[in-house]
Amino acid sequence: MKAAGTALTLRVLLLAQMRQQPARLLIMLAVIAIGVSLGTAVFIVNATALNEFTQATKRLVGEADVIIRGPPRGFSESLYPKLSANSAVAIASPVLEIQAAVPGRQSPLKIIGLDVFRAAQLQPALLGDLTGDIRRMFSPRGVFLSARAAQELSRKPGDTLTVIVGSDPVALEVLGILSIARYSQAVGLMDIASAQWTFRQLGQLNRIDLRLQAGVDAHGFSAQLARDLPQGVLAIAPEVERDRAVTITRAYRVNLNMLALVSLFTSAFLVFSIQSLSMLRRRASIALLRALGVTRLQLQRGLLAEAVVIGSLGSAVGVLMGIALATAVVHLLSGDFGNGQLQVSAGGGPLLDPWSLFAAFLVGTVVACVGAWFPAREAAARNPARGLKAGDSEIIIPPRRLLLPGAALIALGICLVILPPQRGLPIAGYAAIAALLFGTILWVPRYTEAVLSLWPRTNRVALDIALAQLNGSRGTMFLSLAPIIVSFSLMVSMSIMVHSFRDSFDAWLGKLLPADLQMRLPPGNDTASWSDDEQRSIAALQDIERTDFRRTLPLYLRADREPATLIARDMRAQPTQDILPMVASDANVDPQRAVWISEAAQDKFEFRLGQPLTLPIAGATHRFVVAGIWRDYARANGALVIPRQRYIDLSGDKSANEGAIWIRPGADAARVQQAIRTRFSTANALEMMRSSEVRERSLAVFDRAFAVTYALEALAVLIGLAGISVAASFTAIARRAEFGMLRHIGLTRGQVMQMLATEGIATAVLGTLYGLALGLVLSLVLIFVINRQSFNWSIDLSIPALQLVAFAAALIAAAAATAILSGRAALTEDALRSVREDW
Amino acid sequence: MLKVVLRLSACLCAILAIDAALATVAPADASAAAVVRGYPLNFPRDYGAHNEFRTEWWYITGWLHTRNGAKLGFQVTFFRSRTSPDLIAGNPSAFAPTQILIAHCALSDPTHGRLRQAQRIARAGLGVAYASEADTQVSIDRWQLQRTSERYIARVQGENFSLQLTMLPTQPPLLNGDRGFSQKSPLPRSASYYYSVPHLQVAGTVEREGAPELVTGEAWLDHEWSSEYLDADASGWDWIGMNFDDGSALMAFRIRAKDGAQHWAAATLRDGQGNTRVLNAEEIRFTPLRHWRSQRTGISYPVEWRVRAGPVEFELQPLLEDQENDTRATTGAIYWEGAVTATRAGHSIGRGYLELTGYGEALKLR
């Protein structure tokens, strides 16, 4: 009986809605669908990219129980027979893993040199395609490419692939292509002997995969083994290797997910305000239903059921749109949302997990229900007799009752801000944003009350009526303000964050690119370098005033961390602040022992200023002291700078892979570049650019990386604007009687319009100011908590005042325009008829 | 003797499948040493490896008895395969795969109903796998065949079985063919250097499913090296190595042509007094008596035979019918190799091993 009553109520409510307010229904559906589709798309793309990455690393790790890793230059191969003979080891597989520089390719190609007889037992899934070709693999200059690598390099079997070793091009023969099912990322496979010879690493390995005898405890074994391994060689658990993709991109993915959540969040607010306004509009029908015997519970249920229907419909559409969007992103952009870290091969298509899709659908529906819950409760609680009478068009929101919960939420937000990151993620920071947002929203009614009471009387009819109207409908005003404040404040905070980041990034680039020209070999490559003689010959070129060559290489510090980057460069310039973007330094440290660490190195390896530490360099450990902490936006896993002379003394390695060139004043940069290029073979992987070009490109990359952020922001604001326009049209329609009366008592059409515009502008100004202030607070959380914790680098606050003013002006204009348009629609009707309508 | 080196299976994984390429499909290696008539075998040097030849194996087969009288057959083999220097191209790396070593082990266990098998493959080098040129010292990881103080010691571990056997020679090496020059076809360049050590006295341990047992028995060792083995007309072979109770020993093989007819045959017979007779093709006759069809592969193998080799004639019965090495899933090669008893007039007169290849499809050996 109860259920039947609810169903009937629902039918009456919904049918009436569809007939009377199809636009409102459509907007609600659209809002939910957009929020859900964004979340779904971000989730699908992330999951797809991650799955592919994880599958690929799984293939590389195979069935190894322990992975021994050393620096790229490796360790003596004599470790291999030693480990093979270890009674706890069932299989030892020697590997030389090389990031090979390939001319014309920005990122190096990973080439894995392996003993196929050994690797086949540990990575059978990776090597399956080689059956029948094993002996061909022995060809010393032969390489097998994964399908992805072959595609990226456009090579087919029999083609030549040139790699740079030192400064020399070495031609490899493409022996075959592994099928995409074997390995989805780009990789080349070579015989271990060929790799050692080709890459001039005879006698060296840099990885040994171990499978242990049944019953041997891998952790205990690793711990014991770690003591016998050469310096800088680590025993790594396979989970660490497998989770690499997850770890590297986690912060980025979490941020994207959070942005998607923000859009859902805004949707919930909008549903709340639309539903609340719609209750006003339907007050008479609702009261009639109650008068006809529908119970309060049935009514509440009916209204909620309505939200479920709309929410699930919108969510279903949203999930479908999300799948379409994700498919487009995967196919058109290789699943890259702009940071270049996650890429998928288009061949795979998006990964659709029915449970996750269902979860997205459910979240959307729940969001709609939550948004509809409060208005439904309020409507059901109303006295039907009052509702049946005309003029009861205001929601009573007692501002003071909201203050305490608001203050509590704000206090909670402040507490959350000071919490440390959880598992490297700024979870508390995000929670703080949510708490601050909700808390401050609850203060909006009190705020409007206070501001409006300060508003002076002008004795101009239109303005004073507008003011009186606003004062009298603070509840409605709150409803139209809440979504715009939420979306605008989020937008403001993101703009401030991105702007601050960009400014800091730009300043950082300036510090890092002091010279006229920058030359480098593909970052992260292990094979290409310039010899001492080559560096000297460049320095001796005419028109070159000064050169600063650097050596960068991966540094394995901890078995459970990604390798950091060691940068050996000239650090004699004083003060060091001039050549490194320092955030802290200790002048008392002996420059001979100094190491300057990046903020990421500080966070990830828990190093402190002034702390003595030992670093493994060229197979031995050496003592250093942290002399400074600098800001680095380039190396997320941490970077450590040491004086180049000390590095050469310790390692004997005089080669370099990055260089800064100062040109004599008045000399032609293009001629100097040409002169440098002619020093090297045409196929060399040398990249050379003017510092100004590097800067432009880096900023372009930066902007691209944040393009998605901007898109999501814009969407949030659009949703907010939709809120304003819905509210405006509602109130306009609801107030037809009032307009009729005003016209009746002699106000001109223009005065009514002026009144409406004033109301619209006043509302928008109030919302914008509040949103600006709130956005500023939120941006501080984003910059100093969330950004610092997710990316391990600091940013200096910088406010894009002009941009914000422009945003605010646009928003106010849009709100005013919406108010006037809605008013005009309401005013076209005959004044007398509208006065009569309610009687 | 002629072993299925080149098409061994890999139980561990598909790729270990040693890649028919290993010695067979690889381009003919002109730099490999040729087998010539008249080279005098010289021990102990020739117990060791001959790296300049393309293929080589040390092949031990035999019968074992457990304490409670159960009978087992076993086979332990180490192969060496040379990679063409053209392919190595002078790579100085210690990992340069100049020599590939392969080991195979099978245990014929009537209670198990079929073979237990295990294999290893590795490139020689860095002490992880090696084949000494000085004496029989072959090793891949912990798999070993060593000749020390006149004894052979074999150690192999499979997934659920392992063997550790000491084998004491009781007779001098038996040189097959013309003083160790063993021709494999009418064309004289298809030949190998080949000696056998019959009547090896075995003692040791067999472990099955974690349960070790002491065993004794008698075994046969073949050591053979060559650069060119079968000719293009051959489709497979039948081989036996028999230890007779009276102390005599017989190695006999025949190579079948594509039509199944006998393409080539040879045998070496040494009586209990040590007198050796080399038999030619006309003196050897292999007559199949009974076939057994494998349920797994559908291939029919002649598992019972009548063999005549010069003055001796006997019949062969297998220890168990299913001694099929099915490696179809990995390489496509299927063959039968197993322990057999020699009987005359219903009485056992000796024991040995029978190998039957090429019954499924022609072996692509040259």
Taking residue A836's Cβ as centre, other Cβ atoms within 10 Å add up to 11
- What's the mean pLDDT in A357-370? 86
Evaluate whether B241 touches B1 at the Cβ level (below 8 Å).
yes
Instruction: Check if A192 contacts B (Cβ < 8 Å).
Output: yes
B277 CB contacts (<8 Å, ≥6 apart)?
B268, B269, B270, B271, B310
d(CA B107, CA B114): 8
Instruction: Check if B6 contacts A (Cβ < 8 Å).
Output: no
Indicate the residue type of A746.
G
Strand A188-191, strand A109-114: pairing:
parallel
Banded pLDDT at B261 (limits 50, 70, 90): confident
Burial of B67 (C-beta count, 10 Å sphere; 0-12/13-18/19+): exposed
Domain positions in chain A: 1-59+248-392, 71-232, 529-683
Chain A closest-CA separation from residue B326 CA (Å): 18
Measured between beta carbons, which residues in chain A are less than 8 angstroms from residue B128? 80-81, 84, 92
Measured between beta carbons, which residues in chain B are less than 8 angstroms from residue A77? 94-95, 126
Q: What's the confidence (pLDDT) of residue A1?
A: 45
Would the CB atoms of A121 and B96 count as touching at under 8 Å? no
Instruction: Check if B94 contacts A (Cβ < 8 Å).
Output: yes
What are the angstrom distances between the C-alpha of A430 and each of A255, A486, A781, A787?
9, 15, 9, 11
Banded pLDDT at A563 (limits 50, 70, 90): confident
- Report whether pLDDT(A75) > 70: yes
pLDDT in tens, A349-361: 677 778 888 888 8
Residue with tokens 């192999």: B156
- How many Cβ pairs within 8 Å bridge chains A and B? 94
Nearest CB neighbour to A197, from listed B21, B22, B93 = B93
Q: What's the confidence (pLDDT) of residue A395?
A: 60
Burial of B248 (C-beta count, 10 Å sphere; 0-12/13-18/19+): buried
Query: What is the value of pTM for the model shown?
Result: 0.79
Evaluate whether A99 touches A74 at the Cβ level (below 8 Å).
no
Would the CB atoms of B94 and A139 count as touching at under 8 Å? no
Q: Where are the alpha helices (DSSP H) in chain B?
A: 85-88
Residue of A nearest to B13 (CA): A121
Two structure tokens written together for B266: 């040879």
Q: Which of A447-461, B6-20, B341-355 has the lowest mean pLDDT?
A: B6-20
Banded pLDDT at A767 (limits 50, 70, 90): confident
Residue of A nearest to B15 (CA): A131
Buried b (16+ CB within 10 A) or exposed e, A86-115: bebbbbbbbbbbbbbbbbebeebbbbbbbb
Give the residue from A738, A693, A729, A284 showing the smallest Cα distance to A509.
A693
Evaluate whether A73 touches A201 at the Cβ level (below 8 Å).
yes
Chain A closest-CA separation from residue B106 CA (Å): 20
| CATH code 1.10.10.10 for B5-27+40-356 | no
Banded pLDDT at A4 (limits 50, 70, 90): low
- What's the mean pLDDT in A87-105? 91
The pLDDT > 90 percentage for chain A reads: 26
| Cα within 13 Å of Cα(A422), Cβ side | 9
Q: What's the confidence (pLDDT) of residue A339?
A: 47
Q: Which of A477-481, A541-545, A773-777, B32-36 has the lowest mean pLDDT?
A: A477-481
Banded pLDDT at B363 (limits 50, 70, 90): very low
The C-alpha angle with vertex A124 and arms to A119 and A128, in degrees rounded to 5, equals 110
Helix, strand or coil, per DSSP, at residue A402: helix
d(CA B268, CA B252): 6
Chain B closest-CA separation from residue A231 CA (Å): 22
Average pLDDT, chain B: 86
Evaluate whether A687 touches A520 at the Cβ level (below 8 Å).
yes
Question: Residue A548: beta bridge partners?
Answer: A660
Phi, psi for residue A418 in degrees, rounded to 5: -90, 0
The CA radius of gyration of chain A, in Å to the nearest whole number, is 33
Banded pLDDT at A731 (limits 50, 70, 90): low
pLDDT in tens, A110-138: 999 999 888 888 888 888 767 555 777 88
- What's the mean pLDDT in A16-25? 70
Concatenate the DSSP letters of all residues of B206-234 into one string.
Answer: EEETTEEEEEEEEEEEEEEEEEE---TTE
Concatenate the DSSP letters of all residues of A20-64 into one string.
Answer: H-HHHHHHHHHHHHHHHHHHHHHHHHHHHHHHHHHHHHHHHHTT-
Determine which helix (DSSP H) or strand (DSSP E) holds A287, and give its type and residue range.
Answer: helix A283-291
Chain A closest-CA separation from residue B252 CA (Å): 33
* Interface residue of B15, B143, B159 to substitute, partner A, most A CBs within 10 Å: B15
Measured between beta carbons, which residues in chain B are less than 8 angstroms from residue A116? 15
Instruction: Check if A130 contacts B (Cβ < 8 Å).
Output: yes
- Report whether pLDDT(A32) > 60: yes
- What's the mean pLDDT in A50-77? 84
- What's the mean pLDDT in A132-149? 83
Evaluate whether B24 touches B364 at the Cβ level (below 8 Å).
yes
Q: What's the confidence (pLDDT) of residue B162?
A: 94
- What's the mean pLDDT in A77-99? 93
Give the residue from A101, A99, A166 showing the smallest Cα distance to A532.
A166
Give CB contacts under 8 A, 24+ apart, made by A762-765.
Answer: A762/A466, A762/A467, A762/A470, A763/A470, A763/A477, A763/A480, A763/A481, A763/A724, A763/A815, A763/A819, A764/A484, A764/A724, A764/A811, A764/A812, A764/A814, A764/A815, A764/A816, A765/A812
Would the CB atoms of B128 and A81 count as touching at under 8 Å? yes
Would the CB atoms of B91 and A140 count as touching at under 8 Å? yes
Q: What's the confidence (pLDDT) of residue B20?
A: 36
Banded pLDDT at B197 (limits 50, 70, 90): very high
pLDDT in tens, A254-294: 767 777 776 677 777 777 777 777 777 777 777 777 778 77
Q: What's the confidence (pLDDT) of residue A448?
A: 84
- Report whether pLDDT(B248) > 60: yes
Banded pLDDT at A826 (limits 50, 70, 90): low
Measured between beta carbons, which residues in chain B are less than 8 angstroms from residue A80? 126, 128
Measured between beta carbons, which residues in chain B are less than 8 angstroms from residue A136? 21
Q: What's the confidence (pLDDT) of residue B8?
A: 31
Evaluate whether B238 touches B193 at the Cβ level (below 8 Å).
no
Residue of A nearest to B129 (CA): A81
Chain B closest-CA separation from residue A198 CA (Å): 9
Chain B closest-CA separation from residue A792 CA (Å): 42
DSSP code for A144: E
Banded pLDDT at B306 (limits 50, 70, 90): very high
Residue of B nearest to A117 (CA): B122
d(CA A269, CA A767): 14
- Report whether pLDDT(A763) > 50: yes
Q: What's the confidence (pLDDT) of residue B270?
A: 96
pLDDT in tens, A433-470: 889 988 998 888 888 888 888 877 777 777 777 777 77
Q: What's the confidence (pLDDT) of residue B27?
A: 47
Instruction: Check if A128 contacts B (Cβ < 8 Å).
Output: yes
**Inter-axis angle of helices A691-705 and A707-734, nearest 10:** 40
Give the residue from A680, A683, A692, A684 showing the smallest Cα distance to A535.
A680
